[in-house]
Structure 1
Amino acid sequence: AARFKRAGEAWDVALQIVALRRQAGLSQKDLAKLLKTSQQQISRLESPGYEGHSLSMLRRVADALHARVRVVFEPAKTSHGMRVAESPVSYRTKRARTRRK
């Protein structure tokens, strides 16, 4: 299941790169020239099966296409049907008891 999720994320990145490149009216070769890389590298980045996107390359692509990269960390789903609290929870700590004389 995790492999399919990663593949879906790679697919999403690839589709976004293709869409931005096309909006800019650029071919893969044109974008490659802007980035001083090969057309094959652009093809790889636009391939849904490719999972080797580096953050630095994504930033270079975004800059060339007048876009920005946004990375979002999300909590992992917990196992066994447990849910993560959506609002902060405060816990009380036990106070040490002192004896009265």
Structure 2
Amino acid sequence: MTFLSDGAVPDEAPGGGDGDETQRVQRRSAVVRSERRLAALRLALVQEKRKLHEASAREQGIREGVVGRAVWDLLAQGRLEPSVVALIRDEVRARLTPTQAAAFRNKAFE
């Protein structure tokens, strides 16, 4: 059994013309299967990257929610200095969209 690389066709193939055509068809078929497998692997890679990104975004949301609740609790307990509240207020205002701003009306960080 002879292995050919890069799809090269040998100058002299044993067995005549029919064998050569069969080998070319088999090689083409193997290339098509390999290309399909590569496409499937690339799709799987993209899907796994998306899952990783979504997990990271979800974890970030969890962290932000926990910190946000802790800040609200500290504020409600009066344990934050007015200067810290002012810093947080300025940072919050800079990040709010108009829709989000409605949730902060009549609150400490408005």
Q: Same fold (TM over 0.5)?
A: no
Larger relative contact order (C-alpha < 8 A, sep ≥ 6)?
1
Larger radius of gyration: 2
Higher helix share: 2
State TM-score, norm by structure 1: 0.29
